[in-house]
């Protein structure tokens, strides 16, 4: 078994839990090295305190599981089979006569699927293990970090591609499509979602989407995108001005940049995560824009674009070496536009390592 599965198995043993059903695709991948999109079909990993694990997957994915190097039992579920009956039979075949407790990721598995497990073991209480798996994934090892460095490098390149596509009259969706096309043309397959490209007043929408707005002189241009490398993600935001820039745009931009740098400088081992948010927030509030900073400073990053921890001001957890998260302050003024500057940051014993390298000084683009 992998060290990660062993670590979870030891936790099950300590908690006197008979098995864990790991359901979320990122967690299955983290433990086993296998991932797929199961659609409506069932994917899961059964982990036991004192026995080998079992992979549960659609039958059409079973060969893929084997190709990843999985050496344990595979339950390949055909479309006309009941997966829960197969799971029950495999557990019984291990000689496990009585299930007193089992664990699931409470935020990742549907109520219906928990009920299916409860129907198999009606007397067994369901234990939450979401926090345990998040804690296991929190500290990245060197192999994970190298993948994230490469993902960040490719995200930097994607921003460069987007900037080169800017010209008067081009639409947001045209630029977003160009980024996707160019990266795929060069063999970069793991683009996380459709790149967010926003022009002008739309840049005040933190989670807007690329549309038919055309680029004109004086517009903010906001890019937010990421790239995936072997399951690990980057997440970068950069904001530019097209053509001519006014004094308010300069002030807003430099306020966000100062906020970004203050938060990064606060990222040291032992710092309360909430204090990183506050370091960022204090800069923006001090310039009179506090009401326009409408989200936390960042979020965890790794096998998911958004994962634990949440970098909000009330988070009392302390930064540890090996944590990776985003630092992404923003100011969003309706009718004017918005600026966000997002970096991916690794906590190290010697201070923060910023994985995203694309320049952050105010750039005025002349198309």
Inter-helix orientation angle 130-138/3-15, to 10°: 140
Q: Both tokens of residue 334?
A: 């309706």
CATH number at residue 211: 3.90.230.10
CA geometry: angle 99, 105, 110, nearest 5 deg: 95
Provide the H-helix boundaries in the chain: 3-15, 25-32, 62-67, 83-93, 111-120, 130-138, 142-164, 172-185, 247-265, 273-286
The answer to whether residues 181 and 74 belong to one domain is no
The answer to whether residues 150 and 80 belong to one domain is no
How long is the chain?
367
CATH number at residue 113: 3.40.350.10
Which are the contacts of 206, defined by CB distance < 8 A and separation ≥ 6? 294, 295, 330, 332, 338, 340
Choosing from 138, 161, 180, the residue where a domain stops is 138
* Rounded Cα distance, 261 and 220, in Å: 21
206 phi and psi, to 5 degrees? Answer: -55, -35
Strand 343-348 to 44-47 pairing: unpaired
Which residues, in sequence order, are bridge partners of residue 344? 326
- 132 is in which domain, residue-wise? 3-138
Strand 102-104 to 19-22 pairing: parallel
Output the pLDDT for position 192: 78
Q: Both tokens of residue 268?
A: 């040291």
The answer to whether residues 115 and 225 belong to one domain is no
The answer to whether residues 169 and 306 belong to one domain is yes
The answer to whether residues 62 and 92 belong to one domain is yes
Greatest Cα pair distance, the chain, in angstroms, is: 74
Which are the contacts of 242, defined by CB distance < 8 A and separation ≥ 6? 166, 168, 199, 215, 216, 217, 218, 219, 220, 221, 364, 365, 366, 367
Number of domains comprising the chain: 2
The answer to whether residues 293 and 341 belong to one domain is yes
Inter-helix orientation angle 83-93/111-120, to 10°: 40
The answer to whether residues 329 and 246 belong to one domain is yes
* Rounded Cα distance, 238 and 254, in Å: 13
The answer to whether residues 78 and 205 belong to one domain is no
The answer to whether residues 13 and 155 belong to one domain is no
Total-model pTM: 0.95
Q: Both tokens of residue 231?
A: 């399951």
**Up-side HSE of residue 166: CA atoms within 13 Å toward CB?**
28
Choosing from 138, 171, 189, the residue where a domain stops is 138
The answer to whether residues 161 and 177 belong to one domain is yes
The answer to whether residues 112 and 191 belong to one domain is no
User: Which pLDDT tens digits describe the chain residue by residue (367 residues)?
Assistant: 689 999 999 999 999 999 999 999 999 999 999 999 999 999 999 999 999 999 999 999 999 999 999 999 999 999 999 999 999 999 999 999 899 999 999 999 999 999 999 999 999 999 999 999 999 999 999 999 999 999 999 999 999 999 999 999 999 999 999 999 999 999 998 887 789 999 999 999 999 999 999 999 999 999 999 999 999 999 999 999 999 999 999 999 999 999 999 999 999 999 999 999 999 999 999 999 999 999 999 999 999 999 999 999 999 999 999 999 999 999 999 999 999 999 999 999 999 999 999 999 999 999 7
Choosing from 96, 118, 138, the residue where a domain stops is 138
Asked whether 233 and 305 are in contact (CB, 8 A), the reply is: yes
The answer to whether residues 162 and 303 belong to one domain is yes
């Amino acid at each position: 078994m992998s060290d990660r599965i062993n670590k979870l198995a030891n936790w099950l043993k300590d908690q006197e839990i008979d098995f864990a059903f790991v359901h979320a695709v990122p967690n299955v991948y983290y433990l086993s090295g296998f991932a797929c999109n199961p659609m409506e079909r069932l994917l899961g990993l059964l982990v036991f305190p004192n026995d080998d694990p079992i992979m549960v997957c659609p039958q059409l994915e079973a060969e893929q599981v084997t190709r990843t190097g999985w050496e344990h039992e595979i339950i390949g579920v055909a479309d006309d089979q009941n997966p829960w009956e197969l799971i029950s039979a495999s557990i019984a075949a291990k000689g496990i006569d009585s299930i007193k407790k089992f664990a699931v990721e409470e935020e990742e598995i549907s109520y219906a699927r928990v009920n299916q497990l409860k129907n198999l073991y009606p007397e067994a209480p369901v234990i939450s293990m979401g926090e345990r798996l998040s804690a296991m994934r929190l500290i990245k090892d060197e192999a994970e970090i190298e993948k994230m460095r490469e993902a960040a490098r490719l995200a930097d390149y994607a921003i460069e591609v987007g900037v080169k596509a800017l010209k008067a009259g081009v639409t947001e969706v045209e630029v977003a499509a160009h980024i996707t096309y160019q990266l795929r043309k060069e063999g970069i397959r793991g683009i996380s979602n459709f790149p967010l490209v926003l022009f002008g007043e739309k840049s005040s929408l933190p989670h807007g989407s690329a549309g038919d707005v055309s680029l004109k002189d004086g517009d903010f241009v906001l890019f937010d995108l990421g790239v995936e490398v072997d399951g690990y993600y980057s997440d970068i935001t950069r904001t530019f001005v097209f053509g001519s820039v006014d004094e308010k745009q300069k002030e807003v931009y430099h306020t966000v940049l100062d906020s970004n740098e203050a938060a990064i400088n606060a990222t040291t081992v032992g710092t309360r995560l909430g204090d990183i948010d506050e370091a960022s927030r204090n800069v923006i509030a001090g310039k009179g824009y506090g009401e326009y900073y409408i989200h936390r400073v960042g979020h965890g990053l790794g096998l998911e674009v958004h994962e634990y921890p949440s970098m909000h001001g009330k988070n009392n957890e302390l930064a540890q070496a090996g944590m990776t998260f985003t630092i992404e302050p923003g100011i969003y003024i309706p009718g004017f536009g918005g600026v966000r500057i997002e970096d991916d940051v690794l906590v190290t014993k010697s201070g923060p390592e910023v994985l995203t390298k694309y320049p952050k000084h105010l750039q005025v683009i002349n198309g």
